[in-house]
């Protein structure tokens, strides 16, 4: 196999079996990044020397060394996941220069599986956004059309995989931040069940919603990465003790005759015509492979976005209070004449946080304030329970629920910058899985009239990743949209 044709984890494994070394594979992807990332801006930090050293160490293992499932696979890491010795800033000025002294659990597990961390990827600041425009580094760009956003907040990771700059990547998903950019960039992205993957080492946004998950070109790639990072962790009190199934085996055993629920009533308004047509065709493809399609009511789904935008900002308000200019990270300079503690707090946060982060902190602080807690935060938690009850009822009838990942395809950079409410409504189909803690996967299922990718989202019961992987693999067999590379997969950036 020519290294220039490498795309998937399966391709990397085949190349290594056929005599290529991990250094050869790593160098190939580093060359691509050097040639193409100027146009995409997926990476915030490239760990070239370190990655090559790691690959050389893997090549130097003796013949009796144990097999490693991700041997020599380069993986890109979202910039809010702590990686020892590499900058981890959540794309925020307030964490400029921060280099963690430890690895997140997912990084330890990737390393144990033989993966090579190739660099850190751009994201919306503290994972707050859906376009990657809210980054101190500036926006990443969509490999299908560089004038468009790649989605967010994990837009850099999604763009890197879509542009073939890395065969796999990690992101985090708080309200859709893996699935939405996966849909916009035409790749596979999965949010696992809350607790399936340790959050130790993830810079917190909203602790009851955040979850780390994989990106890949194929369902099998996502399954391989999830296999490596999943499992209990004593350092994360929210980590679940559930055993980790054989996700890679599930990807090799596509589901036959699943029952798929579609909440048609919530798709009647607000979905672009192009997205609706592609989604309907995807449902017919599922039907054609033997799936039974049934209508399922989700009567409280319309409240997912307002509920999410109370719960998530409230938790962010609490979590981001630690960035005070005292213990670490950025501290605003003060004139000696007015160097009071309150002024230092004020200036540090005013200059260290971007506008979107400050907007959400203020929303959350208001929702938690005396006199408003019961009216907003407590009520949102009650509605959250109703949304979960709707899904529990649906899963008594179906194996998975299908809907579009997003109501639109990618839009132009800057097009919605002045309308945060319109941006927030882009989470209408994704936020529910975070509020309920359920697993969900986005698969490429076609393109709209402008040639931009559309995502098919499948949501499963708690700890039902195996089912999603099997159904996703069955769909992918019939509709392998991942094989079509975007223009940026061959584009060169500025010299």
Length of the chain counted residue by residue: 495
Query: For residue 166, which of 43, 293, 23, 342 has the smallest C-alpha distance?
Result: 43
**Cβ atoms of residues 81 and 103 within 8 Å:** no
Helices in 242-303 by DSSP H: which ranges? 247-251, 273-288
The C-alpha atoms of residue 230 and residue 463 are separated, in whole angstroms, by: 11
The C-alpha atoms of residue 122 and residue 91 are separated, in whole angstroms, by: 6
The C-alpha atoms of residue 312 and residue 205 are separated, in whole angstroms, by: 8
* Residues in contact with 462: Cβ distance below 8 Å, sequence separation at least 6, in sequence order: 193, 437, 438, 439
Q: Which helix (H) or strand (E) holds 100?
A: none
Alpha-carbon distances of 176 from 42, 44, 172, 255, 476, rounded to whole Å: 18, 21, 9, 25, 21
Which residues are bridge partners to 169 per DSSP?
76, 215
The C-alpha atoms of residue 56 and residue 22 are separated, in whole angstroms, by: 7
The C-alpha atoms of residue 375 and residue 368 are separated, in whole angstroms, by: 10
Query: For residue 435, which of 456, 459, 399, 457 has the smallest C-alpha distance?
Result: 459
**Cβ atoms of residues 469 and 247 within 8 Å:** yes
The C-alpha atoms of residue 46 and residue 87 are separated, in whole angstroms, by: 10
Pairing of strands 453-459, 400-404: antiparallel
Handedness of CA 283, 287, 291, 296 (dihedral sign): positive
Question: Residue 315: CA atoms inside 13 Å, Cβ hemisphere, count?
Answer: 21
Positions annotated as catalytic residues are 78, 153, 177
SS3 content of the chain, % helix, strand, coil (to 5): 45, 15, 45
Alpha-carbon distances of 284 from 157, 158, 281, 291, rounded to whole Å: 30, 27, 5, 9
Structure tokens at 313: 């900002």
Pairing of strands 116-121, 292-295: unpaired
């Amino acid at each position: 196999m020519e290294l220039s044709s490498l795309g998937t984890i399966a391709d990397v494994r085949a190349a290594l079996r056929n005599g290529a070394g991990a250094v050869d594979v790593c160098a190939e992807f580093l060359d691509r990044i050097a040639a193409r990332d100027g146009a995409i801006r997926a990476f915030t930090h490239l760990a070239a020397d370190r990655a090559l050293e790691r690959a050389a160490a893997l090549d130097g293992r003796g013949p009796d060394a144990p097999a490693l499932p991700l041997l020599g696979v380069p993986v890109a890491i979202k910039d809010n996941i702590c990686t020892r010795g590499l900058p981890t800033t959540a794309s925020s000025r307030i964490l400029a220069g921060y280099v963690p002294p430890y690895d997140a659990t997912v990084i330890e597990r990737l390393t144990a599986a033989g993966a090579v961390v190739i660099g850190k990827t751009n994201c919306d600041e503290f994972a707050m956004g859906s376009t990657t425009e809210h980054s101190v580094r500036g926006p990443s760009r969509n490999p299908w059309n560089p004038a468009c956003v790649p989605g967010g907040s994990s837009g850099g990771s999604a763009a890197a995989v879509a542009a073939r700059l890395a065969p796999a990547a990690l992101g985090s998903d708080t309200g859709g931040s893996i699935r939405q950019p996966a849909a916009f960039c035409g790749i596979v992205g999965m949010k696992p069940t809350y607790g399936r993957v340790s959050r130790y080492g993830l810079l917190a946004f909203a602790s009851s919603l955040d979850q780390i998950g994989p990106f890949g070109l194929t369902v099998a790639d996502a399954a391989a990465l999830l296999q490596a990072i999943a499992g209990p962790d004593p350092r994360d009190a929210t980590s679940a003790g559930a055993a980790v199934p054989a996700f890679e085996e599930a990807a090799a055993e596509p589901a036959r005759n699943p029952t798929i629920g579609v909440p048609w009533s919530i798709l009647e308004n607000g979905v672009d015509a192009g997205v609706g047509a592609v989604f309907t065709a995807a449902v017919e493809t599922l039907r054609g492979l033997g799936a039974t399609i049934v209508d399922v009511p989700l009567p409280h789904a319309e409240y997912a976005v307002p509920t999410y935008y109370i719960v998530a900002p409230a938790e962010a308000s609490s979590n981001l209070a630690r960035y005070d200019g005292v213990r670490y990270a950025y501290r605003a300079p003060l004139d000696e004449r007015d160097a009071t503690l309150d002024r230092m707090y004020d200036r540090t946060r005013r200059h260290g946080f971007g506008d979107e982060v400050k907007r959400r902190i203020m929303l959350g602080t208001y929702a938690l304030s005396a006199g408003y807690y019961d009216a907003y935060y407590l009520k949102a938690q009650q509605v959250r329970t109703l949304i979960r009850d709707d899904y529990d009822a649906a899963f008594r009838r179906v194996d998975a629920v299908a809907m579009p990942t997003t109501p639109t395809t990618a839009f132009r950079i800057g097009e919605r910058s002045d309308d945060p409410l319109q941006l927030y409504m882009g989470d209408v189909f994704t936020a529910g899985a975070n509020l309920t803690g359920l697993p969900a996967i986005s698969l490429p299922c076609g393109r709209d009239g402008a040639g931009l990718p559309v995502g098919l989202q499948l949501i499963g019961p708690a700890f039902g990743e195996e089912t999603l992987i099997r159904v996703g693999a069955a769909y992918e067999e019939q509709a392998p949209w991942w094989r079509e590379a975007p223009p940026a997969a061959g584009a060169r950036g500025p010299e």
